[in-house]
Structure formats: C-alpha cells, structure tokens
Structure 1
Amino acid sequence: MSSPGRRTVLASLLTSLLAACGNRGTKGEGVTDEELLAAAARGDAAAVRDALSSGADIEARDDRRRTALLLAAAADHVEAAEVLVKAGADPNAQDARQDTPWLVTGVTGSVAMLHALLPAGPDLTVRNRYGGVSLIPACERGHVDYVREVLKTGIDVDHVNDLGWTGLLEAVILGDGGPPYQEIVRLLIAAGADVNLADRDGVTSLAHARTKSQTEVTTLLQAAGAR
C-alpha cells in the first residue's frame, strides 16, 4: 500500500477511535446519573457522594421525573438526603405527580427527613396534586410528631386544598377520632387553626365530628369555640 494510502487508512482508524471514545463518554455521563438515582433510592449515602463527585447531575430525573432527593425522601433515607442537601439539591423539584422532596415528608410523616430538608429552604407553600401543603396529608394520616414539628415552621395552618379541606377538616373527616387524631386536633387548635372554617358544602369540623360520633374531638372543638 502506498504511503498516502496508509495515511488515509490510519486517519480513518483514528477518526473511528475518537468517535468511539466520544460515545463512551456520553454514555458514561448517563450511567453516572442513573447511578446517582439508584444510590439515592436505596439509601447508599457513600454512593450518592461518589456519583456527585464523578459529575452526576444533582437534579437528574428518572422516568417519573423524580430527582435523587425526592427518591431519598420518599424512602426516608435521611443520610443520603443530607448529602444531597449539602450539595445543593432542590427540595421543591416536582415530579410527574407534582410531588416534591418536601411534600412527601407530609405523607411519610418523617420528622428526621423534615429536619434534613429544612436547611435547603423548602417552599412551605408548594402544593401537591390535590392543592395541599405538607401539613394536610400528615393530618389525614395521623402523623402526630410530624404535625407538631411542621407547625413550628410557620406553615399555613388554615391552608385550604382543592377539595375545600384544611388540615383540621381532613383530620376529622378522614381520621377515626382516636388518640392520634385527638392530639392532632389539639395541636392545630393550639397553632391557631380556625375551628369554624367550613368545607365547600358549608359543613364545619364540629359538624363532621358529631356526624362521625367522634366524642373526644367534638369536645375539643367545642372548648375551642367551634360552632
């Protein structure tokens, strides 16, 4: 083969090698993001740290638009969440269902995760797909400790969701009137909740409590001035 011919073949080989290296680099970045998401989902704080150090995008999304911080928060992996928060992860990044890392703490009721996310400056007014703030699902689910802690943040105790319900209304309507719900009602009253706010049908928490034969809750509401 002539010298010019050899140079042409070598140049072609070099071009192919460079292209292959470039493709591997692009693929590697994608795998790194996937590794970050997987590490956060399983709560592997060390792997989360390594993935970030390797250049993973801290706000990378999975196929449901969940970030690493949301995955960690949903599974209550506090240490992994702390690593992400320290690295600057967004506590307000919404997924395809409008959940955020902060909002899911109201669902899980994790006080530890609440405190892990507070340094990130979560938006206390951000709303879930039902138009509610994190306090409301916590009231619905009977998460007493969470309600106690989140009320200390200054969250709107009388926020009304798209169903026309406040945290107090949800605690009564969707609760069973047992000790956890009684304590949540006490906490909401102490935080200044308007006990006379009615739902969209004009029915108050007191009326709902009476209808559901929630004797203790009825007594608490009456003592707070409910009509």
Structure 2
Amino acid sequence: MLKRLCNFFFVACVMFASPASASPLHVAVRTNDLSSALRLLQNPFGLSLREVRDKAGRTPLLLATEMNKVDFARALIEAGANVNATDAKQDSPYLLAGAEGRLEILKMSLANGADLASTNRYGGTALIPAAERGHVEVVRMLIEAGVKIDHINRLGWTALLEAIQLSNGGTAHQEIVRLLIAADADVNLPDNEGITPLQHAVRRGYTPIATMLRAAGAR
C-alpha cells in the first residue's frame, strides 16, 4: 500500500511539473532523467503514457530516437512502445533511426516489429534516406532485414539512385552502391526523367561507382 502511494505521489509530482504539451515520459527523455522514466514504466499509469503524443505528434520513443538516447529507447521498447508509431511528419522510431543512422535503436526496432514496408513523407522506405546519407552499416542491416531494394519513392528515386545523385561519390557511398548491387538492385532502373544510375554517376564524375555499375550490367 505504501509503495502504491509513493508511486502515485511520484507520478503526480511529475505531471504537475510537466508542460501541458508533453507527458511525464517526454519530460524524462528531454531532461535526460532515466531514473524517472524507469519508475514511470514500472506502474500502470506510466505504461499508459507510452503512446501519448507531444505537440509534434511524437511519442516518447520517437523523441528518444530523435535525440539518440539509446537507454531511454531500450527502456521504452522493452516496455512495449510501438516502433512504428508516426508523428506529424510521418516519421516513426524505426524510420527515423534508419534515416539518421541510429544503429542501436534501429537494431532494437527491427527486433521488435519494425514495419519494413513503412514509408516516410516522401514515400521512401528506411533504406532510401540511409543510402543517401551514407549510413553504411544501416544500409547493410536493412538489406539483411529484407527491406525492398528497388522501392521507388514519390520523387521517382530508389536507394541506388539516391546513393549516387544525392551523394558526394565518396567511399561510404561507393560501399553502399556495392552493397545494393550485391543485393540485386536493378542497376538500370531510371528516375522519373529516364536517367539511369550509370548516367548519373558518369555525369558527376564518380568513376569508381560507374565502374561497379558497368560490371553489374548497367547501361
């Protein structure tokens, strides 16, 4: 009974101190108060806050992902937080972890029900922005998880196209192109203007990438 009263008092204090736009769990994440987050998740009221949204539509887990707070993300996921819950921008913890290169949170998301077919506001899977931004290990992990390699977003781009036309052609993107080719990406799938990956690579002077594409049968 005393423990229940203490938990109630603790939750009430956190709620009173929290801004109206956020739950106590959001506040704990933002203020880096892991002990409060863990205490909240140990009682039914705290568990009920897992999917509460802030003004931006973010759940506590999405906020933890955005801020790259791995311990908070782990606690929330272990407590059953939804890794596919989207905010106002159509980001989810899973999608954002892929796009931002949050490798540890991505691993946890994939192990806890990540929807590999889910898409961001551009209609792209987690693989596409990861390829664009040069997150080699994220790309490797998503390929191994089974994300569709040749998915086309609303801009008409695949992961392979974005790894070329939106990159600097450096070593990270060269490795990503190699990984995508090894995963049987369609090296001749063009963008909406009919420009192929090889044509983009040649136009940008990305010789190592062009060489890999030609070896894979690109035209």
Query: Structure 2 length as normaliser, TM-score?
Result: 0.87
Please name the residue that 2:138 is paired with. 146
Task: State the Cα deviation string for residues 170-217 of structure 1 (Å, max 9, x = none).
Answer: 000001111111000000001111111110111100000011111110
Instruction: Say if 1:85 and 1:119, in contact at 8 Å, map to a contact too.
Output: no
Aligned amino acid, residue 164 of structure 2: V
- 1:44 positional shift: 3.7
When residues 41 and 119 of structure 1 are mapped into structure 2, their CA distance, relative to the original with a 3 A threshold, is farther
Higher radius of gyration, 1 or 2: 1
Aligned-residue sequence identity (percent) comes to 47
Please name the residue that 1:83 is paired with. 75
Instruction: Say if 2:61 and 2:81, in contact at 8 Å, map to a contact too.
Output: yes
- 1:62 positional shift: 0.5
- Worse-matched range after superposition: 107-116 or 44-53: 44-53
- 1:105 positional shift: 1.1
- Worse-matched range after superposition: 29-38 or 55-64: 29-38
Distance in 2 (CA, whole Å) between partners of 1:93 and 1:30 is 26
Distance in 2 (CA, whole Å) between partners of 1:40 and 1:182 is 36
Which segments of 5 or more consecutive residues in structure 2 lack a partner in the other structure?
Answer: 1-11
1:188 counterpart (180, 183, 186): 180
Please name the residue that 1:127 is paired with. 119
Aligned length: 203
Please name the residue that 1:105 is paired with. 97
Query: Structure 1 length as normaliser, TM-score?
Result: 0.84
Please name the residue that 1:17 is paired with. none
Task: Tell me, yes or no, if structure 1 residue 93 matches structure 2 residue 85.
Answer: yes
2:114 counterpart SS class = coil
2:41 counterpart SS class = helix
When residues 41 and 195 of structure 1 are mapped into structure 2, their CA distance, relative to the original with a 3 A threshold, is farther
1:155 counterpart SS class = coil
Task: State the Cα deviation string for residues 123-175 of structure 1 (Å, max 9, x = none).
Answer: 01111010001111111101111111111100001110000000000000001
Instruction: Say if 1:69 and 1:81, in contact at 8 Å, map to a contact too.
Output: yes
Q: How do residues 10-89 of structure 1 correspond to structure 2 at under 5 angstroms?
A: 28=15, 31=18, 34-54=23-43, 55-56=45-46, 57-89=49-81
Instruction: Say if 2:15 and 2:24, in contact at 8 Å, map to a contact too.
Output: no
Instruction: Say if 2:84 and 2:93, in contact at 8 Å, map to a contact too.
Output: yes
- 1:120 positional shift: 1.7
Aligned amino acid, residue 184 of structure 2: G
Distance in 1 (CA, whole Å) between partners of 2:41 and 2:61 is 12
Please name the residue that 1:198 is paired with. 190
When residues 225 and 122 of structure 1 are mapped into structure 2, their CA distance, relative to the original with a 3 A threshold, is same
Instruction: Say if 2:15 and 2:23, in contact at 8 Å, map to a contact too.
Output: no
Task: Tell me, yes or no, if structure 1 residue 117 matches structure 2 residue 93.
Answer: no
Please name the residue that 2:167 is paired with. 175
Distance in 2 (CA, whole Å) between partners of 1:69 and 1:164 is 31
Task: Tell me, yes or no, if structure 1 residue 165 matches structure 2 residue 157.
Answer: yes
